[in-house]
Amino acid sequence: MYENLVYEMKSQYNNSSNVVIREFCMEDYDSLIKLWDDSNLPHKPEGRDRRDKIEYELKDANAVFFVALVEDKLVGSVFGTHDGRKGWINRLVVAPEFQRRGIARILVARVEEVLSALGIEIIACLIEGWNEDSMQVFERLEYKRHPDIVYFTKRKNPDV
């Protein structure tokens, strides 16, 4: 549905390699879970992050999921959703060995671009209080911390 985008990334050793940003597909699932594990991204493999749950979400017209690949290795991901008026960025992660190279910025920009084209004018993300690294990433991307919002949740079970 969306075109694959290719960016040139300079490595710390001054060689460049291409970063391909493309839509997530279910064939990426095992690599995605490995990326989340390797990056210590909390996830619920027996709940909301089960294969069938993500596959179901992918069918929703309100979901835009992208991955970043370097030399065919999945090194980053971001999930974007919207409710028709507000967009959400979820599950932004970049493999530790590829961090600080602009991949997170590219992934977020791609979700912002797609959501904006759909008429979404507000994009937000929720970051748990312990995750200072993610807060710094979004602050660098010009997202503003909203001190007046308290997040409430009601869950059927701890895995959702």
pLDDT, tens digit, for every residue of 47-77? Answer: 888 999 999 998 988 999 999 999 999 999 9
CATH number at residue 129: 3.40.630.30
Report whether pLDDT(100) > 70. Answer: yes
Q: Is residue 155 part of a domain?
A: no
Q: How far apart are CA 57 and CA 43, in angstroms?
A: 16
Q: Is residue 46 part of a domain?
A: yes
Q: Is residue 152 part of a domain?
A: no
Mean pLDDT of the chain: 88
Q: Is residue 33 part of a domain?
A: yes
Count of domains observed in the chain: 1
pLDDT, tens digit, for every residue of 33-52? Answer: 999 999 988 888 888 889 99
Q: How far apart are CA 89 and CA 125, in angstroms?
A: 5
The torsion defined by the Cα of 112, 58, 125 and 35, in degrees rounded to 10, comes to -100
Q: Is residue 63 part of a domain?
A: yes
Any idea which residue has 């990426």 for tokens?
A: 28
Containing domain of residue 43, as a range? Answer: 5-140
Of all residues in the chain, what percent carry a pLDDT higher than 90? Answer: 62
Q: How far apart are CA 137 and CA 154, in angstroms?
A: 28
Report whether pLDDT(2) > 90. Answer: no
Q: Is residue 21 part of a domain?
A: yes
Q: Is residue 34 part of a domain?
A: yes
Q: Strands 122-125, 86-94: parallel, antiparallel or unpaired by DSSP?
A: parallel
Q: Is residue 23 part of a domain?
A: yes
